[in-house]
Structures are given as C-alpha cells and as structure tokens.
C-alpha cells in the first residue's frame, strides 16, 4: 500500500504555467515538429472523435462546458453535431483567442478551472481533455470538485494512459526533442493509479483504442465526486 501510494502521490507537477501553454499553442514546424502535428490531428481527427465519445458517454444533454478548452476543436464538433449550448474556459489568453475563432457559436472565456466563474449545476455535462494530468495531486482534487460543482448530470475526464508507446513518445520528446512540460512530463494513468488516488469514486472507464490506444475516458456523476472527494485545505 505504502509503496504504491508513493508511486502515485505527486505534490510537484511539471510546468503548467500560462507561458508554457502559450509556447505550446504558438509552436511552429521545426526540426521536431511534434506539436504542429498534434494541433493538426486535433483539428481533423481527435476533435470530431472526442465529440462522438462525449455524446455517447454523456447521452443527450442541452449544455456542455469544456474546462481547458485549448483551440476548441472538440467544442466546435460538439456544437456542430448537437446544437447544444457549448461553453469553454481556458486560463491561457492565446488558447481562448484561438478557440473563439475556431468554435463559432460557442461561449469561450478566460477562467481558471480551479475557480470557475459559474453557479453550481450550470451545465448538464462538464468535461476536460488532457487537463488533470498537468496538476499535482492536491490540485487534482480541487479541479475535480470544481468540475462537479458546476455540473448537473455528468462529469467526463479524458486522461493519458500509462502504456508503453506513450511512455516511449514522452521519453523521446524529452531526450531527443529536448521538450519539457506538455507531451514530455505529464502524469500517465492506469486504473490502479486512479483507484488509489480516488478510492471512493466509482469510476466507469473506457480505453480509447481509436484515439491512438493511449487514453482513458472516465465517467462520473457530480454528486459522487462532491460526496467523496475532499478538497485539501
Ligand atoms: C493539453 S491542453 C488541452 C486542450 C484541449 N482540451 C484539447 O483537447 O485540445 C490543456 C489546456 O488546459 C489549459 N489549462 C491548464 N491549466 C488550466 C487552468 N488552471 N484553468 C484553465 N485552463 C487550464 C491550458 O491552457 C491548455 O489550453
């Protein structure tokens, strides 16, 4: 128990600062063009695929909030395919500008996912993609509670899986590509890790083979999170 707890207990995470994310969103093709490829893939493949997953896992709903919306590729596809009210927040000003341009008809604003500027139970479904893994453990609990606070029906999390090819990719980015931060240092998840971090939560999970076989979807009810996840003092 002690051994595995220390494996997943991280009070220090990698750089999750706004300058790091601004560099990420302004990356141009160079000798190691990983990030431009990621952005292109998000636009033409993952955005529509993730929107399909969210529709299936969340069922029919009238409103969505994406926390850490990035360039808005998924929100745009959700809006187009459901006509639901779609909102997104991001703490990075450049991401918000790109999302506003990209996800027409959606409400996008600058806000911190740890302190969302919305009343309790404002949105039917609240989700995040590639967000939780950039926070240390204590803040992960705060982030999860904040997702749940503003959600009415469902919370969805999309997290990177601890699989050999993703580990290898991150290692390659660090050692050969000279990267740090996103796509280099983030936490990877297994079912065992997620159960250890949040032992009371009845996570329903789905391993997404079509998204590169490197991610999990987790489905939760907001009341389950609010009942069991205690925000650290
Ligand atoms: C890996 S990107 C994912 C973007 C988008 N969800 C996607 O799937 O393409 C993570 C995003 O979370 C944002 N972010 C990080 N910390 C945040 C916070 N505390 N509040 C709001 N957004 C945050 C970053 O600015 C970045 O846009």
How confident is the model over 48-89, as pLDDT tens digits?
Answer: 999 999 999 999 999 999 999 999 999 999 999 999 999 999
Give the residue numbers spanning the domain of 174: 2-228
Q: Say yes or no: CB of residue 130 within 6 Å of ligand 1.
A: yes
Inside any domain, residue 60: yes
- For the cut 50, the answer to whether the pLDDT of residue 5 exceeds it is no
The pLDDT assigned to 231 comes to 79
Specify the pTM: 0.94
Count of domains for the chain: 1
Determine, yes or no, domain membership for 206.
Answer: yes
Q: Find where tokens 């240390």 sit.
A: 136
Please tell me the total number of residues recorded for the chain in this structure: 233
CA of 66 to the centre of ligand 1 (A): 9
Which single residue is written with the structure tokens 């929100």? 75
- Exposure b/e, 76-104, CB count within 10 A at least 16 = b: bbbbbebebbbbbbbbbebbbebbbebbe
Does residue 42 have its Cβ closer than 6 Å to ligand 1? yes
Three-state DSSP at 156 gives strand
Query: What is the C-alpha to C-alpha distance for residues 17 and 181, in angstroms, rounded to an integer?
Result: 9
What is the bridge-based pairing of β-strands 215-220 and 204-207? antiparallel
Return d(Cα 21, Cα 112) in angstroms, integer.
14
Q: Is residue 233 part of a domain?
A: no
Does residue 92 lie in a domain region?
A: yes
Q: Is the CB of 69 under 6 A from ligand 1?
A: yes
Q: Is 60 exceeded by the pLDDT of residue 9?
A: no
Distance 71 CA to ligand 1 centre (A): 9
Specify the CATH number for the domain of residue 37.
3.40.50.150
């Amino acid at each position: 128990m002690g051994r595995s707890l220390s494996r997943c207990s991280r009070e220090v995470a990698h750089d999750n600062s706004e300058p790091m994310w601004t560099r990420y969103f302004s990356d141009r093709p160079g000798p190691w063009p990983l990030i431009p490829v990621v952005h292109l893939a998000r636009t033409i493949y993952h955005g529509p695929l993730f929107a399909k997953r969210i529709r299936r896992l969340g069922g029919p709903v009238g409103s969505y909030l994406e926390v850490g919306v990035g360039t808005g590729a998924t929100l745009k596809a959700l809006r187009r395919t459901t006509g639901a009210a779609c909102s997104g927040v991001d703490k990075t000003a450049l991401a918000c500008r790109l999302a506003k341009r990209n996800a027409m008809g959606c409400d996008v604003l600058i806000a911190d996912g740890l302190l969302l500027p919305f009343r309790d139970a404002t949105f039917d479904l609240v989700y995040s993609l590639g967000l939780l893994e950039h926070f240390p453990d204590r803040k992960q609990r705060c982030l999860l509670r904040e997702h749940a606070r503003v959600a009415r029906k469902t919370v969805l999390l999309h997290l990177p899986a601890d699989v050999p090819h993703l580990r290898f990719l991150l290692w390659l980015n660090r050692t050969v590509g000279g990267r740090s931060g996103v796509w280099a240092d983030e936490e990877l998840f297994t079912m065992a890790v997620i159960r250890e971090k949040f032992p009371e939560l009845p996570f329903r999970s789905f391993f997404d083979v079509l998204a590169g076989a490197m991610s999990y979807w987790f489905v939760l009810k907001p009341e389950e999170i609010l009942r069991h996840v205690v925000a650290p003092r």
